[in-house]
Chains A and B, each alone.
Chain A
Amino acid sequence: MTPETAILCALAVPLGGAALIAAARRNPNLREAVTLGTSVLLFLLVASLAPAVMAGERPSLLLGAVMPGIELVFKLEPLGMLFALVASGLWIVTSVYSIGYMRGNKEHHQTRFYVCFAGALAAAIGIAFAGNLFTLFLFYEALTLVTYPLVTHHGTDESRRAGRLYLGLLVGTSIVFLLVAVIWTWLVAGTMEFTPGGILRGRVSDGAMGALLALYVFGIGKAAVMPVHRWLPAAMVAPTPVSALLHAVAVVKAGVFTVVKIVVYVFGVDAIAGMASVEWLPVVAGFTIIAASIVALRSDNLKRRLAYSTVSQLSYVVLGAAVLMPLSVLGAALHIAAHAFGKITLFFAAGSIYTAAHKTEVSQLDGIGRRMPVTMAAFTVGTLSIIGVPPFIGFLSKWYMLRGALEAQHWFAVAVLFAGTLLSAGYLLPVVYAAFFRREAEQAHHGSHGEAPAPIVIALAISAAGTLLLFFFADSLLDLAGALAGVAS
């Protein structure tokens, strides 16, 4: 298969899968088989493209011009490859998990759920492979719209309100800021292609560069930089598989991926390094890291705590890119993968607790580690990876970001990295402590529940193992991230 065909198939497979899932709606077993088959096929397709990209090739696929000079085009590069690998790989695990979760909780509208999930993956792959700003914007909007039915899955008043916030903030920021930024870029640069070294160098004044960066960063609401982060905790009303894959991996990572991609390929790291008008970005990212961590510390609801933790962790990626050093950019790219594995494990565990014990608050989890040892062991692994303890993948990404910040002598970033690490330990470790070292409260009616259904346990064990294995087999991840940073340097 040529790379061009593989790109086209990677986009078409999840869409075709969505159609087949809809067609198999009367037979749940067949429907879930289609979901699993599609996710495996997608991962194989994406993985088949990886060697070429690592070898330095940049295969591309042109689908045609939408407007004069504005093309629908896909072009592979290391960062997109990394994002696509993470999203499609974790989709397989999430599909296994979803089967256990959706059946275990007897959720309604399961067909719609799986159809939209497949659609979301198609959009995520489109974002990952986008060759220019227009293509990226198209799939970025598509991802928001296709995940809206997932966020509002329960159809209650609460989910409707959450849906309004979700749509209002994500569509609002993208139309009002991101679209204007894209059109402005097109106007001054005359091109929208992602180009190593950037396309804006020498075309706009320093001040305009800063304004344009602000339009991008706050226009990409999916990156959840404060103050446009509110949609993410609101989206937690969705079923847990959605929170896990979409709001810890596909959607939010699409946001920070876009930020990194634009900093590297539109602005160019060298072009804006040392420019006074862009120095606000590390400050905003640092503020988000600290502030979101503090909110997480104070949240009793487990999913809400994890959501604010995600807001905080996403800004690590933005901070890594904003430090504008090759090593920190490498760390930022790596953190996209590292946080994905760690946080999906934590969400899987939260959903597992909900399915087996119907508990949602941290204060209800005393002693639950004895009833659900695998779930809570996985939770512990996820926690350690998020904090950045070796030998988990979370350590590597923070290590590179820290080295980048030290090399740049960016003391603010260094301080934020340390403080953020302490805070993340502060909001995650108490959960682990309560689960294993506290005694189950007398009045808590746990009934006789044990572990969650097998698919859930299998899925969270795999993702927890992933954080460990990635640390030891990080070569290909490092190659990809290094290729990006090499471009950046």
Chain B
Amino acid sequence: MTSHLPILQVVVPLIAAPIMVLLRSGPIAWVLAVSVSWAALAIAAGLFVEVADGSLVSYWIGSWPPPYGIEYRIDVVNAFLVLLISLIAAVVIVYSRESVRAEIPRERHYLFYAMYALCLAGLLGIAVTGDAFNLFVFLEVSSLSSYVLIALGRDRRALMAAYQYLILGTIGATCYVIGVGLLYLETGTLNLADMAVRLAQVSGDRPVLAALAFITVGISLKLALFPLHLWLPNAYAYAPSVVTAFLAATATKVSIYVLLRFYFHVFGGSAIFDAQPMAPIWITLSLAAMFIASATAIFQDNVKRLFAYSSVAQIGYMTLGASLGSFTGLTGGIVHLFNHALTKGALFLLLGGIALRVGTIRFDAIGGIGRVMPLTSFGIVLGGLSLIGVPATVGFVSKWYLVLATLERGDWWLAFAIVGSSMLAVVYVWRFVEAAYFREPSAEVARLREAPLSMLVPAWLMVLACVYFGLDTQLTLGGAGAAAAELLRGRQ
């Protein structure tokens, strides 16, 4: 049984989806979704324990040996990611019941849960597979289901946002598949590990260079690297609350993983990669994300949009860490991937509570919310502090490693850029603080109650995780450090 964990990780949620559609019942679909999410978490924990010591799990689909068959290949890098995704999924799904009931028409509930299960399967599939084309398939599974999930939003603009994401997401996926096609032409294999070995011996460099470009652009679109982030703010702002929390905490993180896998493992052995000025380009774009997106966030009047722009900025921290090329930098980038998923997950879940009670989360409608929804508001403040990077929150751990990595290189200006951009986070977080605590609640707001417990408990679990993993970093830094070491091994 345990030897089948890699495939079960994907198949369990994948099979749940059609069952939900066949049964056509919202409550049953929710129970199923909870069970598969928790099962996924259990499987992920099992896999993580298995590979935490640096070993490798290789699973051959249909027992066809790689590189002929599809191989699922788990090392500490993707085990860490799978653990994160299923952790977030397990928390979010508990929360979803109340929120979905309020935001989505009753007859579509089962569809929502089915799409959620598909999306989860797709994201997990991307993480565990060791095959470039299989990865594309899962990329599409997760993307298509997330288009549907976003379009289920109450606001009519959700349709437009989903459409925008569909167009850009499809362009991204197409770029990716073109890149994979070129690599296949050059190497004759789709197995990522095999591809890495053969790529080192390829003589003609132009097609490989083109493949690198296509894959970079394609994945950058999916991970919302500035300036390819245009789909993200609308998608996050108008999607149902649960979907925003789930996607913000997982989807972009998975794409960053794909990028790291290709850069460090597949292209890592290739001389072409080293000959290109990749690091300066990535550092520039990361800095642009950190500053421009943060500055844009300040001027939003929708709180969800504000935090969506903040996500674009935070993605900049992750790519910045990765592009520093050192162990410390990569550890910082990966640990921030984990930490930011927790922080944004917590924030969007709490915002969902406000959306449920107030009906909208524009700044002008939520004045004085700190008095009527004290727990929710205080949770958002704590999450905001983690975004800023106050010590004793996860954000501080990430920032410590990123600044340390820049100082190791002697890049002073980069260190000051990192800490300087977190000042922008202070500004946008404090916009919420001032709206929530310094304005008198309007008559409508004053008669509201605190969010229901079934939403508060999962959301606060995430908030407490932000504090806990800010003080005990054995799991997060340990996992990120091991993943960084594994990725850098491929660069030698």
Contacts and interface: CB of A to CB of B under 8 A. Distances in A.
B492 to A, nearest CB: 23
A186 B391 CA distance: 16
A145 B385 contact: yes
A392 interface: no
Given A67-B477, A138-B391, A180-B416, A160 B423 contact: no
Given A66-B473, A168-B426, A184-B407, A160 B434 contact: yes
Contacts of B426: 167-168, 171-172, 175
Contacts, number: 66
A228 interface: no
Contacts of A180: 403, 407, 415-416, 419
B420 A176 contact: yes
Contact of B423 (A141, A172, A186): A172
Nearest to B423: A172
A210 B302 CA distance: 45
Interface in A156-170: 160, 164, 167-168
Nearest to A63: B471
A134 B399 CA distance: 13
A155 interface: yes
B390 interface: yes
A175 B419 contact: yes
Interface string A174-188: 011001100110110
A72 interface: yes
Contact of B438 (A145, A155, A172): A155
Contacts of B399: 179
Interface in A23-80: 64, 66-68, 70, 72
A152 interface: yes
Nearest to B434: A160
Contacts of A64: 471-472
B425 to A, nearest CB: 10
B407 to A, nearest CB: 5
Nearest to B404: A183
A258 to B, nearest CB: 14
A141 B388 CA distance: 12
A176 B473 contact: no
B389 interface: yes
A471 interface: no
Interface in B403-448: 403-404, 407-408, 415-416, 419-420, 422-423, 426, 430, 434, 437-438
Contacts of B385: 145
B139 to A, nearest CB: 34
Contacts of B415: 180, 183
B64 interface: no
Interface string B377-390: 00000000100111
B403 A183 contact: yes
Nearest to A188: B407
A145 B430 CA distance: 12
A400 interface: no
Contact of A67 (B400, B423, B437): B400
A171 B422 CA distance: 10
B416 A141 contact: no
B392 interface: yes
A74 B415 CA distance: 28
B407 A183 contact: yes
Contacts of B400: 67, 70, 183
A72 B434 CA distance: 32
A176 B423 contact: yes
A72 B477 CA distance: 16
B397 interface: yes
A134 B397 CA distance: 11
B369 to A, nearest CB: 15
Contact of A160 (B392, B419, B438, B471): B438
A186 B426 CA distance: 25
Contacts of B471: 64, 66, 72
Nearest to A184: B407
Interface string A120-139: 00000000000000100110
Given A68-B477, A138-B392, A172-B423, 6 more contacts: A64-B471, A64-B472, A66-B471, A137-B391, A171-B423, A180-B415
20 contacts: A64-B472, A66-B397, A66-B470, A72-B471, A142-B392, A145-B390, A152-B438, A160-B438, A168-B426, A172-B426, A175-B419, A175-B423, A176-B419, A176-B420, A180-B419, A183-B400, A183-B404, A183-B407, A187-B407, A187-B408
The 9 closest A-B pairs by CB, nearest first: A138-B391, A176-B419, A183-B403, A160-B438, A175-B419, A187-B407, A67-B473, A141-B390, A183-B404
